[in-house]
Amino acid sequence: EPEVTQTPSHQVTQMGQEVILRCVPISNHLYFYWYRQILGQKVEFLVSFYNNEISEKSEIFDDQFSVERPDGSNFTLKIRSTKLEDSAMYFCASSEGKGNYGYTFGSGTRLTVV
């Protein structure tokens, strides 16, 4: 069964440092997403990406965040200057289409900011 692959599985970084979280979506999927889950809380939407541009973003996704699809297979989330409150599990997801299509989530990257 096709999978969404995320690397690294764990990342510890110092406050103020930049981090890049990487994702390889399913190859024939066209829509890509980042979600995050702070420990003990709900999963929250960050951003959706289609046709090489952001299609929707949440209030959480401020200027410190950016996404990129650099080479046609990888999909990255960059946090420019990490804060303690960025500590969370970050999930990448992909889907074939919008609306009623299934989303496949990766296993996540646990980001700890110290």
Query: What is the contact surface with other proteins in residues (CB under 8 A)?
Result: 4, 31, 33, 35, 41-45, 48, 55-56, 58, 89, 91, 93, 98-100, 102-108, 110
Nearer to other proteins, 80 or 98 (CB): 98
3-state secondary structure of 84: helix
Nearer to other proteins, 13 or 103 (CB): 103
Task: Write down the least CB distance from residue 105 to other proteins, Å.
Answer: 3
Task: Write down the least CB distance from residue 81 to other proteins, Å.
Answer: 25
Nearer to other proteins, 14 or 40 (CB): 40
Bridge partner list, 113: 13
Place of tokens 């952001």: 54
Helix (H) or strand (E) holding 85, with range, is none
Backbone phi, then psi, for 19, in 5-degree steps?
A: -130, 150
Place of tokens 């980042």: 34
